[in-house]
Structure 1
């Protein structure tokens, strides 16, 4: 029983309805859980929980998933401001929207490119959505030309001219494999001042922004791109627009205290 862990036991006990009949646990300093149970009551609860687990073994993965979800929420809440505060200009949709969607992406990622049209449709169809773009250049291979990072620096430098979204669209419109020549063509398509762009790309603060994004990605355990953060949800991969809409609706519902469809 002790191998399952106190937190898991408490979750299982809650699922079994045991807390309706017993005092609620309370936290003490040092992270320990203190209850008002007598030793005899604790033994009784352990026996009931053990039997409940044996009768319903399917709750173990459910409880583990719930524990993982709570840990994710804890991390997200700790870094919420860093995650949702955009690099100036790297934002789309309604800047005062009631829900913020954060997308971590790599310009060389084919799934991100495929999702780009989905994001544009989503923004156009939801007037209360704020989208924060976080460049996460993770696809550069050691010894190769750092095109993911270069593309990200171009987009951030374009933001200095108020043309981040134009550059974002232009790079994702590149056909086939991304090359330096195609990035130059994308810059011209975005309508930026190329001389200023080249200067701003060497600004150390842009490198700091990319490094911050990479550090955030590591802290959040992001394993690839695209990855979306919506409220307390982390969604990985090129998901459908309906999946994103469902996640947005869930976040709105949780904040208003109502359930979607009621």
Structure 2
């Protein structure tokens, strides 16, 4: 760094401690022009400084976003972890709760499905909560309505059986197809299908969408742990690490 550049930097730093009008008066127009030229020359000679500044900014923004998510989770903890309608599995008395916002037509939800199953079963001490969050079109909504109606009509075990089946299902959702899916799980289709458009089912979906809006969630899967929100697919090893870190907090 040249002597001139160093002196200009010191003058600039001093000026920044003054009011805007005083700062403008601190340096003459010629000094400001020299300062700009020195800065430009330095950056052309050391372009890595720009990269360092960008990386520093991105890191700061990421930290701010992570903290904002922590605050959102804390502010909405009751609805996230202990609502009155979501399916709860894993270990109901586990020492930590993992929540997933999911959509049956989401490719990354399907990709994460078996890994999340392995995580919950392999750990043995995770309370796992599923939130129906259909955002990928009418078939997503229909699939969620079918799942929620099954839970209301036939119970939690039936819901989980259907959930698992729907995560692998590739077809459509007309009445014939849904009847076949339910019958294949030894469930009586008629009362479940009759309940799909009920106010109870509509209310569950509406509550989950309202909560997602509060949490600024607009994609699936989204996973939530105490003090952590994971927006997107995370491989099994990463999820295991995040669970371990959440336990240490």
Residue equivalent to 1:7: none
Larger Rg: 2
Q: Secondary structure at the match of 1:102?
A: strand
Asked whether the 8 Å contact 2:146–2:192 carries over to 1, the reply is yes
Residue equivalent to 1:147: 139
Asked whether the 8 Å contact 1:88–1:159 carries over to 2, the reply is no
The correspondence for 2:233, drawn from 224, 233, 238, is 238
Length-normalised TM-score, structure 2: 0.72
Residue equivalent to 2:108: 111
Mapping of residues 47-196 of structure 1, within 5 Å? 57=53, 59-88=56-85, 90-140=87-137, 146-160=138-152, 161-162=154-155, 163-174=158-169, 176-180=170-174, 181-196=176-191
Rate the CA distance shift 1:200–1:92 in 2: closer, same or farther, 3 A: same
Q: Secondary structure at the match of 1:108?
A: coil
Unaligned runs of 5+ in 1: 1-42, 44-53, 141-145, 255-262
Rate the CA distance shift 1:104–1:127 in 2: closer, same or farther, 3 A: same
1:188, distance to aligned residue in structure 2 (A): 1.8
Once residues 214 and 135 of structure 1 are traced to their aligned partners in structure 2, the CA distance between those partners, rounded to angstroms, is 9
Rate the CA distance shift 1:110–1:123 in 2: closer, same or farther, 3 A: same
Once residues 83 and 151 of structure 2 are traced to their aligned partners in structure 1, the CA distance between those partners, rounded to angstroms, is 11
Unaligned runs of 5+ in 2: 1-16, 18-48
Q: Say what the alpha-carbon RMSD is for the aligned residues.
A: 2.4
Length-normalised TM-score, structure 1: 0.68
1:89, distance to aligned residue in structure 2 (A): 6.2
The correspondence for 2:197, drawn from 202, 207, 217, is 202
Rate the CA distance shift 1:83–1:156 in 2: closer, same or farther, 3 A: same
Once residues 177 and 234 of structure 2 are traced to their aligned partners in structure 1, the CA distance between those partners, rounded to angstroms, is 27
Asked whether the 8 Å contact 1:155–1:167 carries over to 2, the reply is yes
Deviations for 1:181-234, whole angstroms, at most 9, x for unmatched residues?
443322222322222212322320211110111122222222311111112222
Rate the CA distance shift 1:183–1:113 in 2: closer, same or farther, 3 A: farther
Moved more, 157-166 or 216-225: 216-225
Once residues 178 and 244 of structure 1 are traced to their aligned partners in structure 2, the CA distance between those partners, rounded to angstroms, is 31
Residue equivalent to 1:214: 209
